[in-house]
A and B are shown apart, each in its own frame.
Chain A
Amino acid sequence: MSEQIPGLGQVEEPPEPGQSPMVHAEEPSRWRAALSEILGGSAAISVLAIVVGLLVGAVFIALFDEDVHSAAAYFFARPGDTFEAILQPYVLLFRGSVWYPGPDLLSSLAPLTSSLYNATPLIATGLGIALAFRVGLFNIGAQGQVILGAIFAGIVTFDLPLPAGLQLPVALVASLVGGAVWGGVVGALRAWTGAHEVITTIMLNYVALNLLIYLLKTPVLQLSGQVSPKSPPVPDAAALPLLIPRPDYKLDLGFVIVLVVTAIVAWLFNRSSLGFRFRAVGENPSAARTAGIDVKRVYFLAMVLSGLLAGLGGFLLLFSQANHTQGLSPSFDASRVGFDAITVALLGRSRPWGVFLAGLLLGALHAGSFDMQGLVPNELVGVIQSVIVLLIAAPPLVRAMFHLPQPVAARPRRTSLRKAVVSK
Chain B
Amino acid sequence: MSAATATVAPSRAGAPTRAALWKTPILLAVFALGAIVLLVPFARDGSSPFILATRSDLVQLPTLVVPARTTGVVFAVLIVACAIVSVLRAVAGRRTPLWLVVVFAVLVLAGFLVWADAGADRGITVPSLLVGGLSLSTPLIYGALGGVLSERAGVVNVAIEGQLLGGAFVSALVASAVAHPLASAFGESNVNGVAGFLGTIAALLAAAGAGVIVSLLLAVFGIRYIVDQVIVGVVLNVLVTGLTSFFYSAVLAKDAQLLNSPPQLPSLQIPVLSSIPIIGPVLFQGTLITYVMYVAVAAVWFALFKTRWGLRLRAVGEHPRAADTVGIKVNRKRFSTVVIAGAVAGFGGVFFTLGSVGGFTKEVTAGAGFIALAAVIFGRWDPLRATLAGLLFGFATNLQYVLSSIGSPVPGEFMRMVPYVATVLAVAGLVGQSRAPAADGKPYIPS
Q: Which residues of A contact B (CB under 8 A)?
A: 1, 4-10, 24, 26-27, 30-31, 34-35, 38, 60, 64, 138, 140, 189, 193-196, 198-200, 202-204, 206-207, 210-211, 213-214, 217, 339, 342-343, 346, 376-377, 379-380, 382-383, 385-387, 389-390, 393-394, 396-397
Q: How far is the CB of A245 from chain B (nearest CB, A)?
A: 37
Residue-wise interface mask of B (421-444) relative to A, using a CB-CB cutoff of 8 A (1 in contact, 0 not): 101100111100011111111111
Nearest residue in B to A382 (C-beta to C-beta)?
A: B242
Does any Cβ of A come within 8 Å of B110's Cβ? no
Q: Which residues of B contact A (CB under 8 A)?
A: 151, 154, 156, 158, 221, 225-228, 230-232, 234-236, 238-239, 241-243, 245-246, 248-251, 320-321, 362, 367, 370, 373-374, 377, 381, 411, 413-414, 416-417, 419-421, 423-424, 427-430, 434-445, 447
Complex: A371 Cα to B215 Cα, angstroms: 34
Q: Is the CB of A207 within 8 A of B230?
A: no
Q: What is the interface of chain B mostly: helix, strand, loop, or mixed?
A: helix
Question: Which residues of B have CB within 8 Å of A8?
Answer: 151, 156, 158, 230, 377, 427, 436, 440-441
Q: Is the CB of A389 within 8 A of B235?
A: yes
Q: Given A26-B321, A138-B231, A386-B242, decide whether A196 and B417 contact each other with a Cβ distance below 8 A.
A: no
Complex: A64 Cα to B321 Cα, angstroms: 48
Question: Which residues of A have CB within 8 Å of B377?
Answer: 8-9, 199
Question: Which residues of A have CB within 8 Å of B236?
Answer: 390
Complex: A343 Cα to B414 Cα, angstroms: 31
Question: Which residues of A have CB within 8 Å of B373?
Answer: 199, 202
Question: Which residues of B have CB within 8 Å of A386?
Answer: 235, 238-239, 241-243
Complex: A4 Cα to B343 Cα, angstroms: 29
Q: Is the CB of A393 within 8 A of B444?
A: no
Question: Which residues of B have CB within 8 Å of A193?
Answer: 427-430
Complex: A204 Cα to B422 Cα, angstroms: 11
Complex: A383 Cα to B377 Cα, angstroms: 30
Complex: A138 Cα to B246 Cα, angstroms: 28
Complex: A209 Cα to B4 Cα, angstroms: 36
Q: Is the CB of B227 within 8 A of A217?
A: no
Given A26-B444, A189-B427, A207-B420, list of 9 further CB < 8 A pairs?
A5-B441, A7-B442, A30-B445, A31-B226, A38-B231, A60-B246, A203-B423, A382-B238, A390-B232
Q: Given A206-B370, A217-B411, decide whether A198 and B158 contact each other with a Cβ distance below 8 A.
A: yes
Q: Is the CB of A4 within 8 A of B238?
A: no
Q: Given A7-B438, A382-B246, decide whether A342 and B428 contact each other with a Cβ distance below 8 A.
A: no
Q: How far is the CB of B287 from chain A (nearest CB, A)?
A: 27
Question: Which residues of A have CB within 8 Å of B430?
Answer: 193
Complex: A189 Cα to B427 Cα, angstroms: 9
Q: Is the CB of A7 within 8 A of B441?
A: yes
Task: Please list 12 pairs of residues, one from A and one from B, whose beta carbons are closer than 8 Å in the complex, sorted by A's number.
Answer: A1-B228, A9-B435, A10-B434, A24-B321, A38-B228, A38-B231, A138-B228, A199-B373, A202-B374, A203-B374, A206-B370, A394-B232
Question: Which residues of A have CB within 8 Å of B154?
Answer: 7
Partner of B225, one of A10, A204, A394: A394
Nearest residue in A to B233 (C-beta to C-beta)?
A: A198
Q: Is the CB of A35 within 8 A of B228?
A: yes
Q: Is the CB of A9 within 8 A of B428?
A: no
Complex: A211 Cα to B381 Cα, angstroms: 29
Complex: A92 Cα to B241 Cα, angstroms: 23
Question: Which residues of B have CB within 8 Å of A382?
Answer: 238, 241-242, 245-246
Q: Is the CB of A31 within 8 A of B417?
A: no
Q: How far is the CB of A398 from chain B (nearest CB, A)?
A: 10
Question: Which residues of A have CB within 8 Å of B243?
Answer: 383, 386
Q: Is the CB of A195 within 8 A of B428?
A: yes
Complex: A1 Cα to B156 Cα, angstroms: 14
Partner of A7, one of B232, B251, B411, B439: B439
Question: Which residues of B have CB within 8 Å of A214?
Answer: 411, 413-414
Q: Is the CB of A211 within 8 A of B413?
A: yes
Q: Is the CB of B437 within 8 A of A7?
A: yes
Q: How far is the CB of A5 from chain B (nearest CB, A)?
A: 5
Question: Which residues of B have CB within 8 Å of A393?
Answer: 221, 227-228, 231-232, 235
Question: Which residues of A have CB within 8 Å of B225?
Answer: 394, 396-397
Q: Is the CB of B245 within 8 A of A206?
A: no
Question: Which residues of B have CB within 8 Å of A203?
Answer: 370, 374, 419-421, 423-424
Partner of A9, one of B158, B246, B416, B436: B436
Q: Is the CB of A210 within 8 A of B423?
A: no
Q: Is the CB of A5 within 8 A of B235?
A: no
Q: Is the CB of A140 within 8 A of B441?
A: no
Q: Given A200-B427, A379-B245, decide whether A9 and B238 contact each other with a Cβ distance below 8 A.
A: no
Complex: A189 Cα to B439 Cα, angstroms: 22
Question: Which residues of A have CB within 8 Å of B437?
Answer: 7
Complex: A394 Cα to B236 Cα, angstroms: 12
Q: How far is the CB of B253 from chain A (nearest CB, A)?
A: 8
Partner of B234, one of A60, A342, A377: A342
Complex: A30 Cα to B434 Cα, angstroms: 28
Q: Is the CB of B228 within 8 A of A10?
A: no
Q: Given A6-B441, A393-B235, decide whether A194 and B321 contact each other with a Cβ distance below 8 A.
A: no
Complex: A31 Cα to B434 Cα, angstroms: 25
Most B C-beta atoms less than 10 A away, residue of A8, A204, A382: A8
Q: Is the CB of B444 within 8 A of A383?
A: no
Partner of B416, one of A204, A210, A394: A210
Question: Which residues of B have CB within 8 Å of A377?
Answer: 245-246, 248-250
Q: Is the CB of B436 within 8 A of A10?
A: yes
Q: Is the CB of A343 within 8 A of B370?
A: no
Q: Is the CB of B246 within 8 A of A195?
A: no
Most B C-beta atoms less than 10 A away, residue of A189, A213, A393: A393
Q: How far is the CB of A11 from chain B (nearest CB, A)?
A: 9
Complex: A35 Cα to B228 Cα, angstroms: 7
Q: How far is the CB of B175 from chain A (nearest CB, A)?
A: 21
Q: Is the CB of A213 within 8 A of B413?
A: yes
Partner of B226, one of A10, A34, A198: A34
Q: Is the CB of A140 within 8 A of B234?
A: yes
Q: Given A60-B246, A210-B416, decide whether A343 and B238 contact each other with a Cβ distance below 8 A.
A: yes
Complex: A30 Cα to B251 Cα, angstroms: 44
Question: Which residues of A have CB within 8 Å of B235?
Answer: 386, 389-390, 393
Complex: A203 Cα to B436 Cα, angstroms: 17
Nearest residue in A to B416 (C-beta to C-beta)?
A: A210
| Top 6 A-B residue pairs of the complex, sorted by shortest distance between their CB atoms | A7-B440, A377-B249, A382-B242, A7-B436, A214-B413, A386-B239
Complex: A380 Cα to B245 Cα, angstroms: 9
Nearest residue in B to A5 (C-beta to C-beta)?
A: B442
Complex: A217 Cα to B248 Cα, angstroms: 32
Nearest residue in A to B239 (C-beta to C-beta)?
A: A386
Complex: A138 Cα to B227 Cα, angstroms: 14
Question: Which residues of A have CB within 8 Å of B381?
Answer: 9
Question: Which residues of A have CB within 8 Å of B423?
Answer: 199, 203
Nearest residue in B to A198 (C-beta to C-beta)?
A: B230
Q: How far is the CB of B439 from chain A (nearest CB, A)?
A: 7
Q: Is the CB of A206 within 8 A of B420?
A: yes
Q: How far is the CB of A142 from chain B (nearest CB, A)?
A: 11
Q: How far is the CB of B318 from chain A (nearest CB, A)?
A: 10
Complex: A390 Cα to B231 Cα, angstroms: 9
Nearest residue in B to A31 (C-beta to C-beta)?
A: B443
